[in-house]
Each structure stands twice: as structure tokens, then as C-alpha cells.
Structure 1
């Protein structure tokens, strides 16, 4: 941590979320000779930097950390749009006349980015979710799982987990290939001998290799306003210290922009880097939620989870996964209600773990016209180009949503007794899974922003990272994939960056 702004570094990383942290980690491991700096627009929430807020034990401290993540333009309670704690909504421009828009488009500003607030679900993509031109994707996903601390066994001893999965399997598994059947959700969580559960944030991705690297500096409350470009090469960044308002020029041999799916393309636009695909092919995942009371589970079994020290979240029923397939283009997750990020029932439910929440995410038909538009004449609360969202559901998208509603009802009936007559379709943006806005592609044909190693087409010394890089239509949670792509980019950067004089071969 520092408030010192270096005059020159080898690599400047913009954003401290999981993908920015992955670049810092891989470069710290493979190229400890490089001088690295990470600039984060938001404040430090806790120690270690990037800690997941669920790991803050004190409820008041946790709430305060969430409030500090809500940026300078956070809206008050009068704004009735759905918003998760720790995030803030795009204040305007989220819906254009005659379009569906993304009313709940949300961001967070803090060390660790959305990795301080996420649900830690890390499923692997399947079928058409898989990026076809990344030959080593499986190995990259394995490495992303290592960096995130992913496990499929975090809640193996949850008393209701096997029963929940057996009931789901009875309606899903017969038509599914091996690997895409109902299974435990891979989660970036760690369970401890005393029963505690800790959730991975960017702190886990950073790891000791980054924290002990004397050549890496993390600067919070530092807004990168512009990338300096000379003769087609990025040469550094202009950073505003949000503590005292001063501006600083930092030269860099390479720059990695890992802000998020909204602010990464915004920064490129503000810097005059405007490839045709920038901000386009915006992909949100429509989300349907439902709740059910498990049928035929005994209060005595539920009480077994009340042991001292056992976690309140997801202990009884675990977290189960119904994977995406092309035949059923949804991604389902089923968890104990208090693990759900969206309240689904009253607080006075009986039998811990007997009420489960079901969330079905839908893949979207990709359209170039679904896009972020940036305004050169108006600015947002950070002084960056204001954003307008153009976003429309196709007839196919609406049919997929209808299918998800029917499928989640079938799943709820298999589990027990639904709490309501019909599922709830959440407003667009509630998934927080915005993708495609700086998408990668195999060739520079105008439909992508970067190449398979995240290098921006036509601009030297610049890479992008984050969910926005994902080029396929997905329904699964994207963080594992975006970290995998960041690993690929960081490895390539470590290999291609010139050796420094006196460094080890």
C-alpha cells in the first residue's frame, strides 16, 4: 500500500479486482524483476487488501465497508432499482426509449473490486460457452482455480446437500452428458477445522507472492483518467490522486486495464483508443429466482447444523449446480436461502436450511447493437465520459427466459413446496455478469477489441482484462473464465517483456 506515485514502472495495472490481481500475482511469480504498480479508484476496505467483506466478522464494520464501496455518485434510498450491498448503480442513461436497457447496471469501487462482494461461484463453461480459439483453456481454468482457491468440496458434509442434488438429478441428469450433470457448485471458499468458512477475494488471488514482492505497489483512491499514447504505443497513464486532487504522469512499459466491463472500455474511449467493437456486444445474463421449502426433511437433521462455530451460510443444504448446456441454455444454482444475494422470503422461516433459493441465469443472443455509448461532452461522477446503455432482448432471449421460468418451477417442485406461485424475473443487470465490451477474438476483423492474449488490436503495450474480455454468450458465473484469460495474458507478458539488465535468466 502506498500514496507514492512512481514516475516510471514496467507494468501499470488499472484495477485491483480478481483479474488485475491475477496479473500482479503471475508477474510476481514469473518476473520478480519487474516494477509493478496497481492503481485502484476505490478505498482500502480491510486488511489484507482485497479481503472479501463476508470475512469481516463485525456486522457494523462489514456494512461500513460495503458503503465505502459505493463510489462518489451513489444514489439514495429514493432510487428503487434493485441493488446489492457494496455496489452502486449507473445513475442515468441505463435505458433508451423503446429499448429494454439495463436498469440495475452496477459497479463497485474499492480495493478488490467486485471480488470483495461476489458470491464466489466458479463453474466451468460448457458447450457454446467455451471460447473455441483458446486451445489451452482447460489448463488456464485449472490455474485460475488455483489462484482463486476454488473447491467443489467446501460443503461436502452439509446434511441436506446430497438430498438436494438427488432430487435435482432426478429431473435433469438423464439427458445430460458426463460433466454437465447436477453437481456441487465449485466455490472460491475455504472451510477450516473449526467450522469457519472464508470467502476468496482478490486477497487470495494476490497471495503471498504478490504481498511480499517489494517491486509491487498498490495505490488506492487513484483514478486513472487517461492512457498516454504515442505513435500507436501506450507509454503510460495519467492518474488523479483522489485524496488531494493532484494529477500524476506515470510512464509504463506495459499497461493492463482491468477495471470492469463498464469502466475498462470507458477508459480506452477517454484515451482516444476506439476500435469498432469497443463497448459493443454487451452481454448481461437475465436472471430468474424462486424459492422452495424442502419436502420431507426432519427438524432433527436441521438442528445438526447448529453446532457452535458452524457457518450460518450454506451449511445445511450446500450449493448445488445445474450446468449450462446448449439444449438447456441456462445455468442454475441452488443454495440455502441465506446464501442468496437476493432476499427471497421472510426472516422468520423455520428449520435452518429447509428453505432454498433457486437462481437460473440465461445466455443471451449476442448483438453488436447491445452496447455502451460514451459521451465526449458529459461526464460521470468521476469526471469520465458519461455512459449510455443500448440493450434489447431478442425474441430468442425472451423464449430463453420463458424456458428458464418453466425449468426453475420444475426444479422447485422436485425439491419441495414452492413459496410463491411464479418465479421472479430480476431486472436486467442484477447478475453483475456484464461481458463482451472489450471482447477478444482470433483475428482483427472489427468484431473484437483484443487478441487471444488480451493485447488490444492496433495498439502496442496495452492489454485488457476482466469479464468484458469474454467473447462467448454465457450463462455461468464468469469470474473463473476471466481470471483464466488474465493468466494467459500475464504469462504472455512475462515471456515477452524484455529481460532487465542484471536479472536472472
Structure 2
């Protein structure tokens, strides 16, 4: 970390979430002499920079890190630091610790809007607050024209330190997986059967768990790179460009309000799906698809108590020292075109719904099921930006236009029926009906700077994430994903960032040779 802001670099990166960190990491590995600067609007909340807040053991320090991430209007000091507290909350504007909601513009008259749309502002971005789930996309979720997608996904798994078996020994995890498989695996391709959820997490020999944030993606190679500079509290207000080529950034130092220019040969905008198109709009880079094809993942949750598992004797693989923690025993029901939902099945550390005072469930027997749907993607679902009004950062104010189609309502109804059916295979329901969150609650927004195979007006960037008609300008993050997906998008977004970083590295090496 430094307050030195270089005036001239080879690559300038906007945003320090997992995809921005991936660009810094790949470039540090493949072009160690390239001068790289990364700018983050939010503050430093941890050491090393980008650490996941769940790795902060002290509750007060963790709460402080979350409050610092919550943008212009942080939550109160008495707000819970447990992200699972909202698991069964039907509030239309559900806000989770470490994030902040759009102040206004999130819903237009007569539309569904995205009332739950949220962001974070901190070194590490949403990677300091996410659940760590890293499933691979399947069937129609995959980007058909990327022939090297599996190679990119494997590289993303390396950067995120993904482990598919970190919590296999959680109480009753194998029994939950067996019951899920019995209910769902018949007829599925072997690669899309029920499995342990791949998680960006390290399970240490002493039982400690370290969750991957951007610090893991940066890695030692980036932190030790003398040509890499990370600057926090730096608001990028414009991407500079001339004659169809990126030229640098205009930056406002949040510490003292001064403005300065950073020249760059390559620019990467790696914000979220709302603020990346916002910055391009503010920079007068406005391709027809910018901000369009916005999509969220409708999410339904349900909770059951496992039946016929009344004691630890029924769980011989678990010794007395194994603790059940939030997100332990996470199992995965992969998306398929025939069963178009992504299922995330978690054994919870506490019941998400109230139980009787004397009802103390056996650890591992409360199971939460989250079913995600793929959106019926429409060009009309979009985020628009004002040329006159501004947000709390002084950037163009946003207006969300978003509707659930008839197909979406049918998909949500099918997901609700499916999660009840699967829940019944596991145990007894804790609530009579599943809960479907309001639009935006998934935090998995995508599509607003989507990738395309050709420059036909329906996409913002090329298969290497370079913005059409602006050489040297790349976009990154969930917004680049062009397909309707139901699975957690971070792994795919990092994979696409790997491809973009490799493309920049190739350009730099060619220029220098």
C-alpha cells in the first residue's frame, strides 16, 4: 500500500476485487517488468490487503472492517457481523454487512427493479465478503465460443485456491450428499451430479479455515513485485482515451480531494456490474450494449431438519473435535438444461427460523437449501446513467430498469417446487413455504459489459474482454459474463480476467521485442 500515485504506468487497473487482482497476478507472473498500478475507491481494511473479513478473528475488528466497506453511509455499530443473519429475511431491501444499497434509482414505476442491489467499497471489493462458492458453469451457462474455457477455469481455481472437499467431514455432510444424489442424480451426466461445493478456502492441518479474498489472488508474487502499486481511497472518475485507444485515468484522491492524471498504455476497469458501465459512461465510452442485458439470479431458500439422524453415533466419520461453522458441509446441485437451477445446500451453525427454547438441534442437522435460477435475459433490462444528476461519489446517477418476464416467474415457481421436493428427501421443513428473495438479493448481477464473439452491437467487449473500438481498454468482473447463469459467477469472472490479462501480457511482450 502506498499514497504514491505514479504518473505513468504500463497497465492501470480500476478495482481491487478478485478480477482486478487476477489481472495484477497474471501480469506480475508473465510480465514482471511491466509497471502496474491498481486503484480502489474504498479504504484499506486489512493486512495483507484484500483479506476476507471472515479471517478476522476479533469480532470488533471484523465489524470495523465491514463498516469501512459500506461506502458513504455505513451501517450502525450494533449491526450484526454474521452474513447468515439475513438467510431467511424477506425484506425487499435486504442489506448484508460489508455492503451498501443503491440510495435511489433501484426501481422504476411499474417495474420489478433491483431493490436488493448492493455494492462494497474497500480494498478487496466483494471478495472480502463473499461466500467463496466456485462451481463451474455447465450446459448453456458456458460461453460456447471460448474453446479454452476449461483451461481458464482451472487457472481461476488456482488463483482462488479452490478446494472441492474442504468440508467433507462436517457433521452429516456425506449423508446429506447421499440423499441429494438419490433424489437428483438419475439421468444426469456424470460431470453434473451432486457433489461437494468447490470453495475458495484453505482447510489447515490444525483445523483452521482461511477464506480466499483478493489477498489470495494477488499472491506473494504480486505483493513482492516492485513494479506493482496499490492505491486505496482513489476514485477513478474518467478513463482517458484518444483516437480509439485508451490513454490513462483521471483520479480523485479521496484523502484530500485533489485530481491527477495517470497515463497508461493499457487500462482495465474491474468494478462491479453497476460501476464498471458507470465509469465507461462517464468517460463518453458508450457502445450500444453498455449497461444492457443486466441480469440477476432469482433466489429461493428453504430450510429443513435432517430426519433419522439423532446422535453422533449416526455420523461415525466425525470426531468430537470437529466443529460445525457457518457454511460447513456445503453441497452442490449443478445446473443442467434439463434441471435449470443451481443448488447450494449448506449445513448451518444455527436454525435460520426460530425454534422452541428447549429445541437444541444436533450440530449439522439444520440444512439450508438455496436454489438459483437463470434469468430470461433481455436487452431492455438495463442500468441507465444521468448526464446531470450524480451519486454520493459525484459519478453519474444510476437508474435501474428491470422486469421479471413470464418465463422468469415460471422458472421461480419451478425452483420453489424443486427445493420443496429436494428438502423433503432430506428431512422435515422448518417453514411451510420456501422464501424467494426480492430481485437483487443474490448480489450476482451480470451482463452489463458483456462479452461477445463479434462486434454486432449486442456486446461491449471481445472474447479477450477488450472493449470494442477502444484498443487497450479491458473490462472485468461479473458484468462481462454474457450467458444466463444460475451458478455463482466469481470463478467464471476470474477465468475471463485471466484471458484478458494474458492478452495484455502478449501485447506488452510483443511491443518490447
Shorter-chain TM band: over 0.9
SS in 1 for 2:484: coil
SS at 1:402's partner residue? helix
Task: Provide the residue aligned with 1:435 in structure 2.
Answer: 446
Residue pair 1:194, 1:309 contacting (<8 A) in 2 also: no
Superposition map of 1:351-366 within 5 A: 351-366=362-377
Of 393, 397, 408, the match for 1:382? 393
For the 8 Å contact 2:169–2:317, the answer to whether it is kept is no
Q: Aligned residue for 1:53? A: 53
One of 317, 321, 325 as aligned partner of 2:332: 321
Number of the residue aligned with 1:412: 423
Deviation of 1:244 (Å): 1.0
SS of the equivalent of 2:192 reads: coil
Q: Which residues of 2 match residues 289-308 of structure 1 at below 5 A? A: 289-301=301-313, 307-308=320-321
1:304 Cα offset (Å): 8.4
Mapped partners of 1:394, 1:322: distance in 2: 25
- Which of 128, 132, 143 in structure 2 is aligned with 1:116? 128
**2:249 pairs with 237, 246, 268, which one?**
237
Deviation at 1:500, TM superposition (A): 6.9
Change (3 A) 1:339 1:240: farther
Q: For residues 208 and 403 of structure 2, what CA distance do their matches in structure 1 show?
A: 43
Using the TM superposition, give the Cα deviation of residue 178 of structure 1 relative to its aligned residue in structure 2, in angstroms: 1.1
The alignment partner of 1:188 has SS state of strand
State whether residues 337 and 344 of structure 1, in contact with CA within 8 Å, keep that contact through their aligned partners in structure 2.
no
1:77-116 superposed matches below 5 A:
81-116=93-128
User: Contact (CA 8 Å) 2:449, 2:479: kept in 1 or not?
Assistant: yes
1:28 paired to 2:41: no
Within the alignment, does 1:5 sit opposite 2:5 as a pair? Answer: yes
- TM-score (structure 2 length as normaliser): 0.94
Residue correspondence of structure 1 range 31-46 to structure 2 within 5 A = 31-46=31-46
Distance 1:118 1:339 in 2: 19
Query: Can you list the C-alpha shifts for 1:344-396, whole angstroms capped at 9, x where unaligned?
Result: 55697422211011100000111000000001110000000000000001100
Following superposition, the deviation at residue 232 of structure 1 comes to 1.6
Quote how far apart the aligned CAs of 1:159 are: 3.2
Q: 1:335 aligns with which of 307, 329, 346?
A: 346
Q: What is the CA distance between 1:311 and its match in structure 2?
A: 5.8
What secondary structure, in the 3-state scheme, does the structure 1 residue paired with 2:199 have? coil
- Deviation string 1:307-327 (CA, Å, 9 cap, x unpaired) is 457462344xx1100011111
Shift of the alpha carbon at 1:296?
A: 1.1
1:175, CA displacement in angstroms? 2.5
1:496 paired with 2:507, answer yes
Q: CA deviation at 1:156?
A: 2.1
Cα distance change, pair 208–373 in 1 and its aligned pair in 2 (3 A): same
What is the aligned partner in structure 2 of residue 265 from structure 1?
277
Indicate the residue corresponding to 1:166 in structure 2.
178
Q: CA deviation at 1:202?
A: 0.4
Distance in 2 (CA, whole Å) between partners of 1:459 and 1:82 is 38
Shift of 1:233: 1.3
Are the structure 2 counterparts of residues 58 and 311 from structure 1 closer, same or farther at C-alpha, using a change threshold of 3 Å? farther
Shift of 1:158: 2.1
Q: Is the 8 A contact 1:283 1:366 kept in 2?
A: yes
Instruction: Tell me which residue corresponds to 2:201.
Output: 189
1:299 deviates by 2.8
TM-score (norm 1): 0.95
Q: Is the 8 A contact 1:103 1:428 kept in 2?
A: yes
- In the comparison of the two structures, how many residue pairs are matched? 498
Separation in structure 2 between the aligned mates of residue 306 and residue 284 of structure 1, nearest angstrom: 40
Provide closer, same or farther for how the CA distance between residues 252 and 162 of structure 1 changes in structure 2, counting only shifts above 3 A: same
- Is it true that 1:144 corresponds to 2:144 in the alignment? no
SS state of the match for residue 468, structure 1?
A: helix
Q: Does 1:179 align with 2:191?
A: yes
1:157 Cα deviation after fit:
1.8
Q: Does 1:223 align with 2:212?
A: no
Contact 1:182–1:321 (8 Å) recurs in 2 = yes
Do 1:336 and 1:354's aligned partners in 2 also have CA atoms closer than 8 Å? yes
Pairwise CA distance, 1:191? 0.4
8 Å contact kept, 1:290–1:344: no
Q: Please provide the CA RMSD for this pair.
A: 2.0
For 2:347 and 2:402, locate their aligned partners in 1 and report how far apart those are by CA, in whole Å.
Answer: 32
CA contact (8 A) 2:40 2:235 kept: yes
Unaligned 5+ segments in structure 1 are none
Where does the alignment leave 5 or more consecutive residues of structure 2 unmatched? 80-90
> Alpha-carbon deviations, 1:130-156, whole Å to 9, x = none?
001111000100000000000111012
* Matches of 2:490 and 2:327, distance apart in 1: 20
| Deviation of 1:461 (Å) | 1.3
1:312 is aligned, of 325, 341, 356, to 325
